């Protein structure tokens, strides 16, 4: 029987334009909070896994630099990268190590600086998200791909731009309550409609913003987790799947096949279904992404994600509260950190520690972290005994 893995410490830094810190200094903020939360000493950590996307940093080979700054030498460390799902990839990596019995306590740090590069460099990177060989020559961008998904979703199911905006309104509402979020102000559908166009049908408020930031979770084997708490939070379902990284080779563009597959695996492992999820963090890099996530995760029927959002069913008190920490939309999206940030939030919810954003009786939570335009998806289900 494979070992269960618990989350015994969580930490988070402020996301935003962090001109005050290097990536390792950001990592330290999150790690410090997590290690204190866990009650352990840094010396108790057997290994660390760093989730980050290297091409945004001037510093090469981030894992070693971060590891050293955290004071964890000479323990093992390595970098995991899966685009915007690098944080979840790092968690999976730590989970695998503990399940295999190689380590007992693993610190997972998702960290990212995105503002070290100049605008031109960042815009150049934005043009290389899809299949560079066949698509980038035409000036495609990350928002353009999801915009094309949105167009198709609108064509097949009648999803409207106001339904897309409803997702942004919700996430900004909760972001205003989250001290770690980049954007702390509510918005209206009207404001979303009037914002600058990015790639039709998207306006600025349909798109998440780049940000700097870090988050940390301390993973532990079952024995160590039980030492920490009478009722640990477990990683009870871990799903991971891939799909074509090119829109040219996806059978359908109105959902992410990697998410459907990863969710199925996670639900199966955890022995739960979509209806059992009390609170979720999904990858809202663009508003349509959250709507498709509702469908891919089984929260609502295929094609009904738009009305599901517009009817308020994903607010606290609704069918399934989603992204009540602001999501990528309001928090900002430091790509390596997001997956760990999502996990932080769910653990907080399951512990009953989310204060004015607490989902009542949250027992089973889910994170859905997507890399790029859906070439990677990691779905985690967390629960207590």
Partner 1 sequence: MFKWFGLVSYVPYTKVEGFADHLREGRIMGSCCQGCGAVTFPPRSDCSACLDEHFEFIEYSGRGTLHTYTRIEAAPTGFERLTPYVVGMVDLEEGGRAVAWIGETVQEEDIEIGMDLQLVPRMSEEEERIRVYYSLEIPGTRWVKTAGSA
- Check residue 199 for interaction with partner 1 (CB under 8 A): yes
**Using the rule CB under 8 A, is 148 a contact of partner 1?**
yes
Q: Does residue number 147 form part of the binding site for partner 1 (CB under 8 A)? A: yes
238: which residues sit within 8 A by CB, 6+ positions away? 92, 95, 265, 266, 269, 378, 379, 380, 381
**Contacts with 318 (C-beta within 8 Å, 6 or more apart), sequence order:** 312
What's the chain's Rg over C-alpha atoms? 19
- The reply on whether position 152 binds partner 1 by CB under 8 A is yes
- Given the complex with partner 1, which of 198 and 320 has the nearer CB atom? 198
Shortest approach of partner 1 to residue 121 CB, angstroms? 8
Is residue 253 at the binding interface for partner 1, with CB under 8 A as the rule?
yes
Rounded to a whole number of angstroms, the minimum distance from the CB of residue 122 to partner 1 is 9
Q: Which of 12, 333, 368, 377 is catalytic?
A: 333
Cα–Cα distance list, 362 to 347, 349, 358, 366 (Å): 10, 6, 8, 11
**List 197, 227, 268, 271, residue binding partner 1 (CB under 8 A):** 197
In whole angstroms, give the CA distance from residue 226 to residue 306: 42
Is 333 a residue of the active site?
yes
Question: Given candidates 68, 134, 158, 190, which one binds partner 1 under the rule CB under 8 A?
Answer: 134
| 196 near partner 1 (CB under 8 A) | yes
Specify the stretch interacting with partner 1 by CB under 8 A; choose among 13-21, 67-75, 140-148, 212-220: 140-148
Please work out the total of residues on this chain that contact partner 1, with binding judged by CB under 8 A: 37
Sites of contact with partner 1 (CB under 8 A): 120-121, 123-124, 126-128, 130, 132-141, 143-144, 147-149, 151-152, 155, 196-202, 247-249, 253
């Amino acid at each position: 029987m494979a070992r269960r893995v618990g989350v015994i410490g969580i930490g988070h830094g402020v996301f935003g334009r962090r001109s005050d810190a290097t990536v390792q200094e950001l990592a330290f903020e999150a790690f410090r909070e997590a290690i204190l939360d866990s009650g352990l000493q840094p010396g108790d950590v057997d290994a660390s896994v760093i989730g980050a996307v290297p091409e945004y940093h001037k510093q090469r080979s981030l894992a070693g630099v971060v590891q050293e700054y955290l004071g964890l030498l000479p323990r093992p460390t390595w970098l995991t990268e899966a685009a915007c799902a690098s944080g979840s990839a790092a968690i999976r990596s730590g989970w695998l190590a503990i399940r295999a019995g190689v380590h007992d306590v693993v610190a997972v740090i998702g960290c990212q600086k995105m503002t070290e590069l100049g605008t031109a460099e960042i815009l150049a990177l934005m043009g290389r998200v899809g299949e560079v060989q066949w698509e980038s020559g035409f000036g495609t961008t990350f928002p353009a791909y999801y915009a094309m998904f949105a167009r198709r979703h609108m064509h097949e199911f009648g999803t409207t731009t106001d339904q897309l905006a409803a997702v942004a309104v919700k996430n900004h509402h909760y972001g205003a309550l989250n001290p770690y979020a980049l954007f702390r102000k509510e918005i209206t559908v009207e404001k979303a409609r009037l914002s600058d166009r990015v790639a039709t049908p998207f306006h600025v408020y349909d798109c998440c913003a780049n940000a700097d930031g870090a988050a940390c979770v301390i993973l532990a084997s079952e024995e160590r987790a039980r030492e920490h708490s009478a009722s640990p939070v477990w990683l009870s379902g871990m799903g991971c799947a891939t799909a074509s990284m090119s829109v040219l080779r996806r059978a359908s563009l109105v959902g992410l096949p990697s998410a459907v597959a990863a969710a199925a695996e996670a639900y199966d492992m955890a022995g739960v279904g979509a209806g059992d999820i009390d609170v979720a963090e999904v990858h809202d890099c663009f508003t349509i992404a959250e709507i498709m996530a509702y469908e891919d995760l089984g929260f609502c029927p295929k094609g009904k994600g738009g009305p599901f959002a517009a009817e308020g069913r994903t607010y606290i008190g609704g069918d399934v509260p989603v992204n009540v920490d602001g999501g990528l939309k309001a928090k900002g999206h430091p790509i390596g950190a997001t997956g760990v940030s999502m996990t932080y939030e769910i653990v907080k919810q399951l512990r009953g520690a989310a204060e004015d954003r607490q989902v009542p009786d949250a027992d089973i939570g889910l994170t859905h972290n997507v890399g790029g335009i859906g070439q990677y998806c990691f779905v985690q289900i967390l629960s207590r005994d």
